[in-house]
Amino acid sequence: MSQYLSKKDLVKEIVKCGKDPVYFIDNYCKIAHPQRGQISFKTWDFQQELLHKFNDYRNNVILKSRQMGISTISAAYVSWMMLFHRDKNILVIATKFSTAANLVKKVKAMIKMLPPWFDQLAQIAIDNRSSFVLNNGSEIKASSTSADAGRSEALSLLVIDEAAHIEGFDDLWTALQPTMAAGGRCIALSSPNGVGNWFHKTFVSADAGENDFHPTTLHWTLHPERDEKWFEETTRNLSRRKVAQEYECSFNASGETVVHPDDLDKLSNFFCKPKHQTGFDRNFWIWEEYDKEKKYFLVGDTARGDGQDYSVFHIFESETMKQVAEYRGKPTIDVFSRILYDAGVEYGSCMIVLENNNIGFSVLEKLIDQKYPNIYYSTKGSHEFVEHHEADYISNSVAGFTTSQKTRPLVIAKLEEFIRNEVIILHSERSYKELKTFVWRNGRPEAQRGYNDDLVMSLAIGCWIRSTVLQENLRDINYKKTFLNSMIFTKTSLNTTIPGMNGYKSEKKLDKIKEVKDNYKNYGWIIKG
């Protein structure tokens, strides 16, 4: 397009550009190419469709692959909005302040590279490093993700770049919403970063029609210059998690979850609704009733008492590691100890393994006072298992399981191992949801901000107990059974000659049935425990 237009043609061009951002960008916007320098910005079909959505919908949430030019498209749209609309207040937020500032820089560069006659519309009046103002009153600035970002402002447009990667954005979003109450718009764009964060929740809710955001997914296959060969070459040296995050638009596979998403998916084969939802709060879920032919154990955790977490427990079948029951609620200490007692008795007075940190010890004391017959004990420091009937005679024994810097990585590693090797059978989607938000944060495995890991930690302790204490017990029982069977099935004969007894010499096979009965009577105690 010629830079020299008659007054009449100039008016026509201004009207056409003002009506259609695609026309404006394709005909007048330029970008700085790293190899080719200043080049015209020609939009692809999927980019044009996105630009129309920016206009048609007040709020947009875009799930995208890398290298799709969406940040640049967003900058071009912002340029159009500032030039052709007066008094627009635009705020850019990103995972890093430098990233937000870079988008502002792109907008500034595009405006500066426009033909000279655009100066009649608007010019840069105030130029700062991370902000600038046009003489038509429109302004844009980059902001950090601090709690006071955008406060006391009435925003026309909020651009959130790499929204999934902003730590703790839920609180910031709560603070920003009032700034757009007067009709402000929002563009939230990002590659995925696991589940549970603000971007994931917003996109999923938008996709289900549960909020006022319009969702758009931009997979790498939409780009006309990308093909399978390009994808293979680009992702050859990347981990599968990185590929999912950068190119596949996969929430589940992209997060830094402690348990790999592919392994988590295996658990879904066993999900089912509980047969019973019982208890005073109906939070005691039961999938299988007690079977006297089976052994069980209960593993739980007590809430801190600040109302932010839950008191929980799981009941597993010892041999198969199948989840048969689960509780998750916020009862008082007295009520929780009663729930534990009744649940343990219901499943054959099974072993109760309760974390003894903080308030957990108070619950254990109540169980002891109630004379529950089968509580897990361990030694202080070494954390070795102590039989409950021996605990009174061992000075350094303590009721419950102690989660410490030593034991925490052990139990979590065992949880990951059990899930990866499909050793555990998990029926509860409550537990599954916690596992999806149980992530690595600064090198430490814990719940993603705003979520809980009570069920997860109880699962982890349960896996460790099953692989150590219960496994050894099962091994001992098998040894005892083998020993007893060897006695039962041994054939014994008498061939004795005693001088003085009139020709006593006999060989008699013992009666098999009588032998079995006598041996069980005499040695049956060995296999009882």
Give the pLDDT confidence score for residue 120 in this predicted structure: 85
CA dihedral 300, 473, 375, 312 (to 10 degrees): 10
- Most confidently modeled range among 6-15, 60-69, 161-170, 387-396: 60-69
Percent share of the chain, pLDDT over 90: 54
Give 233: exposed, middle or buried? Use CB within 10 Å, 0-12, 13-18, 19+.
Answer: exposed
What are the residues whose beta carbons fall under 8 Å from the beta carbon of 237, sequence distance 6 or more? none
- Asked whether residue 221 carries a pLDDT value surpassing 60, the answer given is yes
CB 165 within 8 A of CB 190: yes
- Asked whether residue 197 carries a pLDDT value surpassing 80, the answer given is yes
Q: Which of 252, 256, 262 is nearest to 422 (CA)?
A: 262
- pLDDT tens per residue, range 411-468: 999 999 999 999 999 999 999 999 988 888 767 888 877 789 999 999 999 999 999 8
Number of other CB atoms surrounding residue 326 within 10 Å: 25
Q: Which of 76-85, 190-199, 250-259, 466-475 has the lowest mean pLDDT?
A: 466-475
CB 133 within 8 A of CB 82: no
* Buried-state track 206-231, b at ≥16 Cβ within 10 A, e below 16: bbeeebebbbbebbbebbeebeeeeb
Q: How far is CA 54 from the centre of its chain?
A: 31
Q: At what angle do helices 333-346 and 360-369 cross, to 10 degrees?
A: 60
> What are the chain's domains?
7-254 (3.40.50.300), 262-471 (3.30.420.240), 488-528 (no CATH)
Task: Give the pLDDT band of residue 521 (cuts 50, 70, 90).
Answer: low
Task: Give the pLDDT band of residue 516 (cuts 50, 70, 90).
Answer: low
Residue with tokens 């091994």: 475
State how far the alpha carbon of 178 is from the alpha carbons of 141, 407, 472, in Å: 18, 46, 60
Residue with tokens 């084969």: 269
Task: Give the pLDDT band of residue 504 (cuts 50, 70, 90).
Answer: very low
Per DSSP, 308 falls in state: S
Q: How far apart are CA 165 and CA 167, in angstroms?
A: 6
Q: At what angle do helices 21-28 and 70-84 cross, to 10 degrees?
A: 110
Number of other CB atoms surrounding residue 67 within 10 Å: 14
- pLDDT tens per residue, range 91-143: 999 988 999 999 999 999 999 999 988 888 899 999 998 999 999 999 999 98
Q: How far apart are CA 40 and CA 503, in angstroms?
A: 121
State how far the alpha carbon of 149 is from the alpha carbons of 144, 176, 527, in Å: 7, 8, 68
- Which residue type sits at 324? V
Q: How far apart are CA 426 and CA 428, in angstroms?
A: 6
Long-range CB contacts (within 8 A, 24+) of 363-370: 363/302, 363/333, 363/336, 363/337, 364/399, 364/400, 365/399, 366/333, 366/334, 366/337, 367/337, 367/340, 367/341, 367/399, 368/399, 370/337, 370/341
Task: Give the pLDDT band of residue 152 (cuts 50, 70, 90).
Answer: low
Q: How far apart are CA 65 and CA 260, in angstroms?
A: 21
Residue with tokens 């938008």: 206
- Asked whether residue 501 carries a pLDDT value surpassing 50, the answer given is no
Q: How far apart are CA 365 and CA 384, in angstroms?
A: 20
Q: What is the mean pLDDT of residues 357-373?
A: 92
Q: How far is CA 120 from the centre of its chain?
A: 52
